[in-house]
Structures are given as C-alpha cells and as structure tokens.
Amino acid sequence: MANFKTTPSKWQDLVTTYTRQPAPVRVLLQLTSVIYESIPPKSLNKFLTAFYRHQNQIQPNSPFDPNFLNELINKKLLILSKQAIQCNPIIAEVLTRDAKKEGHFISMVAAVQETKPIIVHFGRSLYSNTSQLNRELRISFHSDDYDGMVKKY
C-alpha cells in the first residue's frame, strides 16, 4: 500500500471532493473502500454486479470507463499503482462508514467476499497479502464482530 503524509486540510479536501460526487460514484468509491486492496480496474465491474445483485437492484449502466477512473485518480479519490486501483486509504474509513450509514455495507461485504473470497484450508484463512487480512479485519470491525476479528487474526 502506498505511504501517504496527510494533513487535516488534505483529508478534508478529499472528503469534500468525495461528498460532491454523484450518488452512483459515491457508491462505487464506498465499494472500493470495502474491497480495500488493489484490484485491476477491469475487475471493478464484477464487484459492482455482485453488489447490485445483493441489493436486489438492476445495475445501472456502468458509470466508469478508463477516462472516468482516471478522473477519480486525478482527484486522488482512487490510487493507481502497478495497473491496479484502490480506494485512497486516507479516506477509506469515511467511505466505509458512509456505506454502513446508507445501508450498503452488508451488500458490499457479500459482494466482496463472493467476488474475491479468502481461501480457507483446514479451517484456517489463508490470506494472499496483508491487504486481504486488513480487509477482513475492517469488515469484522465495521460489522461489530469482534470475535470474528480475533478468529481472523
């Protein structure tokens, strides 16, 4: 994960930029905060499709193309590294809390765990990187599943 120095004004600027986005874009950004780890931009549609299915909604026309994602990267709402995107970690918690507050969190978790599941071998979770572990710990934390946090670690 990238290393960022932040100040309160930089954080506030990012939050303001996020809140000014249209609702479907905010949902997309919230989903990337639940995914947490870097993903190829093309796989984002799989996560969105699963999310809308869990919401029992028809997925709107895909709001992103390479130019759209580049716009979010230029606004620093998404981070691009090695041809993969991820939510800007500076505001990830704000976005995840918004997803929870707006009632999207549970469907986002289901979509993420369905689309990019953690491998379980003999009852133990096998994480392919620390971002996956962090993702699962964050999901447990935001789900108020503190016992799950202990089991995942």
Distance CA 45, CA 41 (A): 8
The per-residue pLDDT for range 88-129, each reduced to its tens digit, is 999 999 999 999 999 999 999 999 999 998 888 887 778 888
User: Is the predicted pLDDT of residue 131 greater than 90, yes or no?
Assistant: no
36 contacts 138 by C-beta, under 8 angstroms: yes
**Helix/strand/coil for 143:** coil
Mean pLDDT of 25-46: 92
Q: What is the DSSP string of 76-120?
A: TSEEEETTEEEE-TTTHHHHHHHHHHTT-HHHHHHHHHHHSPPEE
Instruction: Return the residue matching tokens 């930029």.
Output: 17
Instruction: Indicate whether this model's pTM tops 0.75.
Output: yes
